[in-house]
Amino acid sequence: MALAAERSVVLADCDVEEPDCRIFIKGEVRSSELVNLPVPVVEEALCTACGECSRFCRYHAIVSLGAAAMVFPELCHGCGGCMMVCPSGAVTETVRRIGTMDTLTNGCVTLLEGRLDVGVAMAAPLVRAVKKSIPAGSLAILDAPPGTSCSMVATVVGADAAVLVTEPTPFGLHDLALAVETTRILGIPFGIAVNRAGPGDALVDEFCAREGIPVLARIPDDRRVAEAYSRGEPVVEALPEYAGLFRSVLENALALSPGKAR
């Protein structure tokens, strides 16, 4: 969709646990940076074991059991609240590396790729870091991870519109229903793109009709698309006749939020 846009666009790969946009968006790396998360450090000599930090933290990343508070960095979301509520000033912050972010350019497309470090459990903070790097006022396409995990929510929240991609199968419909519920809770306008459209589409069509959801596009079940993907070739370059279809997905998505369309 980004390559078919025919205008300057930022593509943010927010599937930071398995980023794959770079397979298809090849270009020069303009910048590469480490992404860190602030985590607490406890000065035992100052800690009075009052437990205020422990009571504040919803994620149990800092715990006081009648002794100096203990920190579990892997659970920390980096909010800084424990440092704010500590009455003795025993809690300060350091940084913990969670991943990297690369910026690439390919013609009119600027790719922001987040990549979570191996062993890091929380993807959402890196997703937010990628989103924060999107230049203000730019047309941005965010590639969210599949499902309805925390990282999907972190990607979609604040978006002007969402395109939910599904397949016309019972499994696809099951996951689509969950994504629809999540997107509605977030209050984001959305539509459906049916991938591998063909026999069996009635499942998705009936669901969308019943729920009043617009179908933005149908991408045919074309073996040539799979073959191009297996070679690492973007569909719009291997099969130029598909460019108009993917451009229509973008335009239809922008139309879902007219006040934000560019």
- Cβ within 8 Å of residue 255, ≥6 positions away: 261
Q: What is the pLDDT of residue 146?
A: 92
pLDDT higher than 90, residue 61: yes
Q: What is the pLDDT of residue 66?
A: 85
Cβ-contact 82, 62 below 8 angstroms: yes
What share of the chain has pLDDT > 90, as a percent?
90
196 in the Ramachandran plot: left (φ > 0), alpha (ψ -120 to 50) or beta? left
> What per-residue confidence (pLDDT) applies to 110?
96
Give the per-residue pLDDT at 237. Answer: 93
Position 9 pLDDT exceeds 50: yes
Tell me, what's the pLDDT at 262?
A: 47
pLDDT band at 259 (very low <50, low <70, confident <90, very high): low
User: Does the structure show a pLDDT above 80 at 17?
Assistant: yes
Kindly state the average pLDDT of the residues 77-91: 96
What is the rounded average pLDDT of the residues 228-254? Answer: 94
Contact 262, 251 (CB under 8 A): no
The confidence band for 261, taking pLDDT boundaries of 50, 70 and 90, is very low
Sheet holding 190-197, edge to edge: 162-166, 190-197, 215-220
pLDDT, tens only, 141-165: 999 999 999 999 999 999 999 999 9
What is the average per-residue pLDDT within 119-138?
Answer: 94
Instruction: Quote the pLDDT of residue 200.
Output: 63
What are 190-234's pLDDT values in tens digits? 999 999 998 767 889 999 999 999 999 999 999 999 999 999 999
Q: What pLDDT score was predicted for residue 199?
A: 72
Write b or e for each residue in 76-102: b if 16 or more Cβ atoms lie within 10 A of its Cβ, otherwise e. Answer: bbbeebbbeebeeebbeeeebebbbbb
Q: Which residues contact 226 (CB under 8 A, 6 or more apart)?
A: none
Q: What is the pLDDT of residue 258?
A: 65
Percent share of the chain, pLDDT over 70: 98
| Per-residue DSSP letter, 128 | H
Structure tokens at 180: 């629809």
- Report the chain's C-alpha Rg in angstroms: 22
Q: Starting from the edge strand earliest in sequence, which strands make up the sheet with 91-106, in order?
A: 28-42, 91-106, 109-116, 9-13, 140-143
Kindly list the domain boundaries of the chain, sorted by start residue.
9-36+98-260, 38-96
CATH topology of domain 9-36+98-260: Rossmann fold (3.40.50)
Q: For residue 183, how many other CB atoms are within 10 A of its CB?
A: 22
Quickly state the pLDDT bin for 35 (edges 50, 70, 90): very high
Secondary-structure class of domain 38-96 per CATH: alpha beta
